[in-house]
Amino acid sequence: MTAKIVEIFHSLQGEGLFLGQETTFVRFLGCNLFCSYCDTLYARDEKRAAEMTLDQVLSAVSLTAKPGQFVSLTGGEPLLWAKFVAGLGPRLRECGLRVYLETNGTLVKEMAVLSDKVDAVAMDIKPPSDCGQQLWDTHREFLELVKDRAFVKLVITSGILPDEVERAAGLVAGVGRGIPLVLQPASGELAPDMGLVRKYQAAASRQLDDVKIIFQMHKRWGVR
């Protein structure tokens, strides 16, 4: 069994609930969406990917990862390689590592076969203003599968609509109001007004118990 891997590296988790934790990242090739704020377009480049077996990935991970740390399966969209992920997760756990899946929350069937093989899920909600698609029902179905081990991330761009933020919060609350929601302000040209982000946080907090604003910090730290 093989998968196409763009890179494997050790760094600090730069976003989400596990911000600052030492993490080994395994970046898979390819994605099924095109988002306005994507900062890993190189994960679509076949020329940057190597075909690797489970043993090869484990060997590379073992050079840096320590027991108890997270291994982040990211992309691109790692669930495009669901069978490989299903095989990799248990092998990582055998090494005392924790499996952290970063996903766009759209590949429901793929998630259904491996939801018990990961320890934590960072699930994005992709509003139409960012990806051009209506994915609400798909996101809800996906979140139902992983609600006991997930937090949800919503990237806040300058172009996001207030009703999209409200709908995202309502979607999460409909599955479980205790599920954490991270509002992640975009950077660069798409950076939002922080006053609006605070208002979005307040509005979402009327439906959810845990709403945080967390920036992408690895860019500020100057690490990968």
Chain segment 176-204, per-residue pLDDT in tens: 999 999 999 998 899 999 999 999 999 99
Instruction: For residues 154 and 148, give the distance between their C-alpha atoms in angstroms, rounded to a whole number.
Output: 18
Predicted local confidence at residue 136, as pLDDT? 98
Beta pairing class for 2-12 and 50-53: antiparallel
Instruction: Name all domains of the chain by residue range, CATH numbers in brackets.
Output: 2-221 (3.20.20.70)
> Is the distance from CB of 28 to CB of 74 less than 8 angstroms?
yes
Q: Which structure tokens are listed for 159?
A: 């172009």
> Is the distance from CB of 81 to CB of 114 less than 8 angstroms?
no
| Between 41 and 98, the higher pLDDT residue | 98
Instruction: For residues 22 and 11, give the distance between their C-alpha atoms in angstroms, rounded to a whole number.
Output: 6
Of all residues in the chain, what percent are helix, strand and coil, respectively (each to 5)?
40, 25, 35
* Mean pLDDT, range 145-170, rounded to an integer: 97
Beta pairing class for 181-185 and 120-124: unpaired
Predicted local confidence at residue 219, as pLDDT? 72
Return phi, psi of residue 73, to 5°.
-95, 110
> Is the distance from CB of 5 to CB of 57 less than 8 angstroms?
yes
pTM over 0.85: yes
Over residues 21-61, the pLDDT tens digits come to 999 999 999 999 888 887 787 889 898 999 999 999 999 99
Instruction: For residues 59 and 64, give the distance between their C-alpha atoms in angstroms, rounded to a whole number.
Output: 10
